[in-house]
Amino acid sequence: MSTLLLGKKDIRELIDINMVIDAVEDSFLALNRGAAQMPPKTYLNLDKGDFRAMPAALPYSAGIKWVNVHPQNYKHNLPTVMAVLIYSNPETGYPLAIMDASEITAYRTGAASGIASKFLARHDSKTLGIVGAGRQAYAQVEAHMKVLEIEKLFVYDINSNKADCLIEAFPSLKIEKAGIEETAGCDIVCTSTPSRGPIIYNEWIKAGAHINAIGADAPGKQELDPEILNNARVIVDDISQAMKSGEINVAVSRRQYDSERIKATLGQVISGQKRARENDFEITVFDSTGIAIQDIAVAGAVYNKAILAGRNNYLELDLFS
């Protein structure tokens, strides 16, 4: 047996946002009904950044993603986030594929937010605010344009050139640069920055808005004013992970937010087990930490598509010798 190698170029050719949205939504449902296994994300903290080990298993797939976050990597002309995924046969453990997971990470995170907005945002939401115009912002735009009828987008980044690049990437969309306060005042707001303190404040958020809080994915990270959390209906991807490393982690540790106030997981909302929102004036927040079942579900879809497409760049690991 051989192990398929899929580099970033391969993943870009095989992956598409529709496939990812379907896989991620199915993974949330599988986790909610107990058909998936996912140990907590493990962190390895170093001076310049951190690594995360993210294993998971679904009924027909299993694997582990090894991902780093090194904020100063731009000095070395390297991405802040890089990831590799080992995709295995759950029946035998044989490594079916080793694949670049940077694109998978970006796409599945964007898809999770798009799904959250589909279920949690007001149905008449027309404006989308993007705070932070790095790689993740592109996936956020793609996913939201697939699931909602967004009419206008606003983007803010501390680096104005990044905002320009995002706008140029979507010439057919109505996007404009704006200040952070105006961007945060949209119907739907997506935050994806490395901030370790509040950058979005309660008084900027309009009644009935939905917020996808994405940037806080490690202990000590925080983007939202805790007052927003206390005024909102908070939905998480995974409760224990959110408390440890999600948007709520700092507020919980400082007793500025009570984790007992978490209303549901996104899987419970998608399945209809828990209510999405009470009314059109309620603020909703999706605390997106990024969970391993999303990666493995998308990796499975990519692997199957690669096999059908006849990809044949194999590695012989000599596991039988």
The pair of three-digit structure tokens given for residue 318, joined into one six-digit string: 């000599």
Which secondary-structure segment (H or E) carries 283? strand 283-287
Catalytic residue chosen out of the listed positions 41, 65, 118, 244: 65
Q: Environment class of residue 264 by beta-carbon count within 10 Å: exposed (0-12), middle (13-18) or buried (19+)?
A: buried
Contact 243/249 with Cβ under 8 angstroms? Answer: yes
The pair of three-digit structure tokens given for residue 316, joined into one six-digit string: 């012989």
Nearest Cα neighbor of 251 from 264, 261, 238, 266 is 261
Q: At residue 179, what are phi and psi to the nearest 5 degrees?
A: -70, 165
Burial 54-90 (b: 16+ CB within 10 A, else e): bbbbbeebbbbbbbbbbeebeeeeebbbbbebbbbee
For residue 24, the 8-state DSSP code is: H
The type of residue at 24 is V
By three-state DSSP, how is residue 180 classified? Answer: helix
Query: Is 65 designated active site?
Result: yes
CA dihedral of residues 105, 41, 63, 6 (deg, nearest 10): 30
Longest dimension (CA), the chain: 64
CA distance 225 to 209: 15
The pair of three-digit structure tokens given for residue 17, joined into one six-digit string: 């946002």
Contact 278/233 with Cβ under 8 angstroms? Answer: yes
- Residues known to be catalytic: 65
